[in-house]
Amino acid sequence: MNNDEKAIVVTGGSGFIGSNVCELLVASGYNVFNIDRRKRDIPGVTQYPFEINTKQVKGVIELIKPEAVIHIAANNSVPNSVVNPKDTYHDNVEQTISLLNVCVEAGVKNFMFASSSSVYGHSIHEDGAFKETDPMFPCNPYGRTKKICEMIIKDYADVYDMNYSILRLFNVAGSNAGKNGYQKSPYVHVLPIIVEKALTNETFDICGDDYDTADGTCERDYTHINDIARGFLLALHQLFDTGVSNIYNLGNSKPVSVLELIKTVEEELGEDINTNLVAPRKGDMVKTYAAVDFAKNVLGWEPTKSINDIVADELAWQKPKLKRKHNL
């Protein structure tokens, strides 16, 4: 069967990660269907603007009979999950169960899930590198929802003859050559916030400087969206070719602190950023980065973009948007 004969359903295909995955799937010859309540015109993608836990979604999947479902849709804000866990558990856990039930009834055999590095929680290694086999101790509701979903997917796969691929994503950032970056505003992720504050000459709040890291600020593993999208494609091919279920870390394997990230943006811009120190955010992990040996060995995947590439592409994405918004 050629790729252009294979139907793939993507949930959350209108968002940052989902839209980039959809674009790459189309470019690779797949017939792509996007289920997302937010309408977005993506060339070559058929849009269904529905909530996941609706009868319409059941009808769509039964009609399409996809070769695989890629579940990316999620409530992905850690701070919001801390103050409003009810919505996070509904959006992430209840809707995943609803989607899995539809897949079982429709006979879908391949299920891919966008999980998160947040499932690991506070580092259990001195160097902070997480392996897929490490225990999961999530330290916020968002991370706990992802852990729960992983467990549910495994249970469904065992009972209902389903293959799965779970991708644990580490701090996805950047844009596709300045054309398709993070959409949501106000932003909830660090790099888009820093860039927006820098371009509008506003002050960026550093949340804590007494963490157990080299410079006292949190460290994260920023991974370019192009690398992440390619990881989804390779994992899909692996699932089709082998039918073997696996969990993969997708990360850059290089932790970057908040202060280092600010410095990188300053260097790219050629000007200083105004900063202000505030209290640490509840639920934040101290340090996290990925060991990606398994993804490299099984998928042939490894990151290709540096933190400088990520920052440059984030700037290329935001500059024209902010010029229009603020008349810069």
Q: Active-site residue numbers?
A: 142
Residue 273 to residue 183: CA distance in whole angstroms: 22
How distant, in Å, are the alpha carbons of 124, 161, 166, 177 from that of 157?
Answer: 29, 5, 12, 37
Burial of 290 (0-12, 13-18, 19+ CB in 10 A): buried
Return the bridge partners of 276, or none.
205
Q: What is the 3-state secondary structure of the chain?
A: CCHHHCEEEEECCCCHHHHHHHHHHHHCCCEEEEECCCCCCCCCEEEECCCCCCHHHHHHHHHHCCCEEEECCCCCCHHHHHHCHHHHHHHHHHHHHHHHHHHHHHCCCEEEEEEEHHHCECCCCCCCEECCCCCCECCCHHHHHHHHHHHHHHHHHHHHCCEEEEEEECCEECECCCCCECCCCCCCCHHHHHHHHHHCCCCEEEECCCCCCCCCCCEECCEEHHHHHHHHHHHHHHHHHHCCCEEEEECCCCCEEHHHHHHHHHHHHCCCCCEEEECCCCCCCCECEECCHHHHHHHCCCCCCCHHHHHHHHHHHHHHHHHHHHCC
